[in-house]
Structure formats: C-alpha cells, structure tokens
Structure 1
Amino acid sequence: MVKSVATLAPIAAVAAVLAATQPVISASRQYPVKPVIIVVPAPRGGGTDIFARELAKIVEEDLKQAVIIDNRPRGGGIDGVSKAVSASPDGYTLAFVWNSPLTAKPLATQVPYSLESYQAVMSIGFSSYVLCAQPGFPAETAQEFLNEIKAKPNGYSVGNDGVGGTMHLASERIFQKIGAKVNAIPYVGSTDTARNFLAGQVDIYGGSLSTILPHVRDKKAKCLLLTSAADNAALPQAGGLDSVGLGSVETVLWWGLIAPAGTPRPIMDRLEATFTKAASTERFKALMAKQGATPRISDGRQTDALIRSEAEALKTVADGVGLRRH
C-alpha cells in the first residue's frame, strides 16, 4: 500500500532529527579524543591554580588525555570565564573558577556572560575568607578586632580582591552589620592584596587563607576574623562569625568547574563523574587541608543552585553599598 504524503512527513521529520543528533551522540561516546583545556582565571601559584593543577594531574589518568591549564588572570576572573564559556560546547574547554567571577563581579562590572552562558560540572569545597591585621594591631581576638575598627571610623584600610569581588562584599556584609566604616582598597586578587599588605600599604588583608597562611607562620600577619560562621583549625587565633554573633552574614570562598552552556549531557556526566572521583581522593583532600580548605563535593545541579542563590544574596549587599555596574 502506498503511504500518503501526510503520513510520510512525520516519519521524515523524525529521521532528520535522528540524523542530526547522531554525530553529537557519537562524539559524546568517544569523548575525549584530544587534550582538554581548563581555563583558570587566576594567576599561577594561588589557591585556585593549585587546586586546578592537581585535579588536572589526577583526571589525566582517567580521561587518558592531556589536561592543559590555561591561566587567564586579567579582569578579576572575567577574562578567563569569558574565554571558557564562549568556547565550543564540546567538553574540550572548561573553566576551574572560584565564585567571585560568577556571583559577585557581575554586580559591579558589565560582563560578557550571564548565568545562562554556562553550566556547572561540580564543585570541590570551600574555605573562609579571612581578615588579617599587621602584627602590631591592637587586638588579639575577633571581638577585639571588630571593636577596634568600629571605634575608629575610616581609621583603617582593608585590601580586597577588587571592587565588587566576593571578599569586598563579604567584608562589607560584616561592617554594615556592626556599623563600622573601613576604607576598602581594591587589588587584583589575593596574591596582589597580600603583597601590598606585607609592604604596609594597607592595614588589613582581606582574602583567601591559602595565600596568607605562609606569612602567618612567619608571624608577618595576625589573622583575627573569618568570614565563615565556623572557626578554622588552620588559623586558631581567628574567630568564625558565630563567635561574635554574626553567623547570619557568612560568605565563603568556594571552587568549581563549569562548561559552556549546551555541552551534551553525556559529556557533562562523564566530566562530573571524573572530577568528582578525583576530588574524592585522599591525595586531593590532603592538598585542600594543607591550603586551609574544607572538602564539600557537590554535583552540577547542586552547584548551579548555589551559584544562583549566592548571586541573589550578594546583590542585596551590593545594593546596600550603592555598588553600580561600570
């Protein structure tokens, strides 16, 4: 029996869709067939770079391909994220990034990407930011630190990771809560902040634990207040926000892996499984502990939800300090 044109049309349409998706399915099954590039929007030697390089070494064994780290530190992380999310969504260009370029920077700067430009693969854990004073600062505890800066409006300067960065907004949440006024001085990431702090250009370092820890051991910095609710064993003198009744304004530094939007689901699943396995190794957990970080592995769905909720919370803080995009 001869089928009508009307009957054949749906069959032809289905066949066309299957033909179009077959190359994608095939490529997903074979992935990866060439080196994978991980863009790190931070300088070499910092915590983000250290974690990315160790993960890359571990996953190479599983992926059976080279994993290349491409440092793109300009723009406070914006340049690196832009490069990664604008790449072809084929799983060969990813970004290992801390939260600031995703949730904080877009509040102060016009960025060429949005929450819809990328999708999270997974995240590895977090670390508190910390506020550290010069060795001679007149305080020895978190409460004494807060009392001192509140008593002297605009009497102290705090270096941070850039205007609208997560550290900037994390510290502002605390200062707003207690009614303190402190001069915020922006730098290009925690390494630059630490360098200027050690040179005496600012009174207080605001940034990641991993960058300042070596200088704490050398007694060149006195770390007194964490931006996490809880304390951190890596810095026993520093108090968490719970210790001063400010746990509700916790803001932490966390790290995760993202891919361009539209990356095929099979490839995303492979990447999530591979990097989750790598981050779960004792080798990687030991590295995180050494850097003062806490492992807390989240899958892609959980990390996407975290990005969106944090972006909303920080927007409230940014509005409170009159931060405007430029």
Structure 2
Amino acid sequence: MLKRALLACGLAVAAIAPAAIAPAAAQSFERPIRIIVPIAPGGGTDVFARLLAELVGSSLGQPIAVENRPGASSTIGTQFVVDQRPDGHTLMFTANSPITAAPHVMNVRYTVDQLEPMFMVGHVGFTLCVRNDSPIQDARSLIAAMRADPGGFNYGTDGVGGNMHLAAERVFRRLGVEGTMVPFQGAAQTLTAFSGGHIQLYGGSIAVAMPAIRDGRARCLILTQRDQHPAVPTGSGLDALGIPEEETLIWWGMLAPRGLPADRRAALMTAFEAAWRSERFQQQLARSGVTPQFRGPEESARLIAAESEALGRVVRAIGIERSR
C-alpha cells in the first residue's frame, strides 16, 4: 500500500549511478569523508547513513566512511561533530533527538546554532498503540478512556525527555488527558515490553512498530503527525483530532559543523540528493514506513527551530530538570 502511495505521489524514481553524481567535485576534498552516526550500529539511522554513503560512493573523489559514536542519548557523537573543522570532511547523520530534545533536558556543551543543517531525507510520526486484545478500537475511544481514568494508562517511551515522551505530552496536554510514562532504552525495547503485556500502550516510532502492525499484535490509534499514515489504517492523525499544530515528527538528516565553504556544501548536496533519489534509497524508506521528503538547508533549519521551540515549551510545562 505504501509503495503504491509513493508511486502515486511521483516519489518513486529511477536509480542513479554513483559515478555520475558529482564528477566536478572530485578534486574538492583532500581526505576521506566521515559520516558520524551518534547511535550504535544496526538501527534505522545507521542503515540510512550507510546506504547513502554506499550510493554516493567515490563520486566526491574520496571514500566515505560511516563511524558510530553512541552514548549519552546521542549527545557524545553530536559534540564530536561540533568540535570538528567545518571543511566538509566530517558530517553527522542523525534523527532529531540530540538536536531538538536533548539540549532542553541535558547539560550539553553544544547549541543547535553550532550545527549547519544540510538536508533531511524523510520523516514519520510517533504513535500510541493498544494490543489487539484491547476493547479500545479507535482514537476517540482511547481519549475517552484516558479522560475517565487520569494517569491510569501507562505508555512506554524512549526515556524521560526523549522526543516520544515530549511528543506524547504535547498531545495529551491539548486533549486534556494524563498518562503514566514508563521509560525504556529505545522504541525496540518499548515494543518488546508492550508485546509482553508489561505496559498498556506502545509509544514510539511508526517505523519500529511496523512488524507488530503487520502481524496484528498492535492496533495503533493516535499518530503525532498531522496526516493519516497509509501503513496505519487504524490511526488518527492530529488533523482528525483537531490539533494539527501539535505535530511532532521523527526526521532523519545530515548536519555539519557550521561554516561549510559554499563550494563543498554544493558538492555534498548534489551528491547526496542524487543518492536520495535513487530507487534503492526510496525502497529503504518505504520498507521502514518513512515518508520521503527531501528538505534542503533552509527548510531543514526552519523545522529544527520550530520543533526545538515547541519541545522546550513542553519541557518547561511539565517541569523536567536538566540531567548531567
């Protein structure tokens, strides 16, 4: 279904040969290019980064290596990138948590302004799901049940102050409901606890929930994105709930230390946009349940600024104190 939707939107594109991506840039870089991924290997962020690196290949005149630097909610790898020279040889591919959430809830040394957004490859909303044996069938019924029992429903998240936690609280506060948050080490662990009956609601990305959605374990009812999602027919987007302005997405994108030379930025953008348009990358996004949308530097910067401001408001409203 998702693949048909992408085709209908004109987003399925032909493969592009890496060698033809950016031949004029072949002499722009003096040494190998590193893409820092601030999480452990194996997750969706890591998969996207490695596929982009493979597709760009040696078209920039130098090999591209992906280097994982996980730890401290992705802030260790982020700080490492901030500390590098802005010459285009060190980039960071990440999801949004260390950029728009962590600075509000952790004592980090970097600021968002020290990073230069280059592009985003796509996005997907978070979701709240019940198990298939629940009598709750739709979003309105879940909201009514939560209003009738304040704090009585627990939901798993990626940790205190993580993007899922803040996204859920944005929605809950506008809907006038309360839930009890249970922190886990990421959405995969949340899904395991949910499947085992240890929590009532799965809270995490649609992408991670896809196996449980496909095999019927999860009935996902509330999405934190404005629109419906073609892979989640039971879910209501925020437009349907009357609060589209509370949208919180997971996005994936490339950033660099601020101050990239214009010629190198242009060469990198040409190469990576061509890789994004390849059939292989589009197929990977579709398999992950991610909506493909290539946002350039200006659009990416606007989204980051708006999201950071919104999540900061939520942190202040619910009284989360910065951790060390």
TM-score of the two chains, using structure 2 as the length reference: 0.86
- The answer to whether residue 256 in structure 2 is matched with residue 237 in structure 1 is no
Tell me the residue number matched to 1:225. 222
CA distances 1:276-319 after superposition (whole Å, capped 9, x unpaired) = 12112232122212211111111112212221121112212222
Aligned equivalent of 1:306, options 292, 303, 307:
303
- The answer to whether residue 290 in structure 2 is matched with residue 293 in structure 1 is yes
Query: Residue 307 of structure 1 aligns to a residue in which SS?
Result: helix
Report how far residue 131 of structure 1 moved: 1.1
Tell me the amino acid that sits aligned with residue 212 of structure 1.
Answer: A
Tell me the residue number matched to 1:35. 32
- The answer to whether residue 115 in structure 2 is matched with residue 118 in structure 1 is yes
CA distances 1:174-208 after superposition (whole Å, capped 9, x unpaired) = 11112211111222222232233233332211111
Tell me the residue number matched to 2:181. 184
CA contact (8 A) 2:155 2:179 kept: yes
Tell me the residue number matched to 2:147. 150
Distance in 2, matches of 1:40 and 1:193, equals: 22
Query: Residue 74 of structure 1 aligns to a residue in which SS?
Result: coil
RMSD of aligned residue pairs (Cα, Å) = 1.8
Tell me the amino acid that sits aligned with residue 216 of structure 1.
Answer: I
CA contact (8 A) 1:46 1:210 kept: no
Distance in 2, matches of 1:61 and 1:232, equals: 36
> Which consecutive unaligned segments of at least 5 residues does structure 1 have?
1-27
Tell me the amino acid that sits aligned with residue 150 of structure 1.
Answer: R
- The answer to whether residue 299 in structure 2 is matched with residue 266 in structure 1 is no
- The answer to whether residue 168 in structure 2 is matched with residue 171 in structure 1 is yes
Report how far residue 114 of structure 1 moved: 0.3
Q: Return structure 1 stretches of 4+ with deviation > 6 angstroms.
A: none
Distance in 2, matches of 1:37 and 1:200, equals: 42
Tell me the amino acid that sits aligned with residue 312 of structure 1.
Answer: E
CA contact (8 A) 1:129 1:207 kept: yes
Report how far residue 64 of structure 1 moved: 4.3
Aligned equivalent of 1:127, options 117, 124, 129:
124
Tell me the residue number matched to 1:97. 94
Query: Residue 59 of structure 2 aligns to a residue in which SS?
Result: helix
CA distances 1:82-127 after superposition (whole Å, capped 9, x unpaired) = 1222123222221101112101111111112102221111111211
Count of residues in correspondence between the two structures: 299
| CA distance 1:235–1:45, change in 2 (3 Å) | farther
Distance in 1, matches of 2:65 and 2:34, equals: 5
Query: Residue 74 of structure 2 aligns to a residue in which SS?
Result: helix
Tell me the residue number matched to 1:213. 210
TM-score of the two chains, using structure 1 as the length reference: 0.86
CA distances 1:133-172 after superposition (whole Å, capped 9, x unpaired) = 2222231112112222222211121111222221111100
- The answer to whether residue 133 in structure 2 is matched with residue 136 in structure 1 is yes
Report how far residue 61 of structure 1 moved: 4.6
> Which consecutive unaligned segments of at least 5 residues does structure 2 have?
1-24
Tell me the residue number matched to 2:8. none
CA contact (8 A) 2:223 2:238 kept: yes
Tell me the amino acid that sits aligned with residue 242 of structure 2.
Answer: G
Distance in 2, matches of 1:105 and 1:48, equals: 17
CA contact (8 A) 1:231 1:238 kept: yes
CA contact (8 A) 1:46 1:211 kept: no
Percent of residue pairs identical: 37
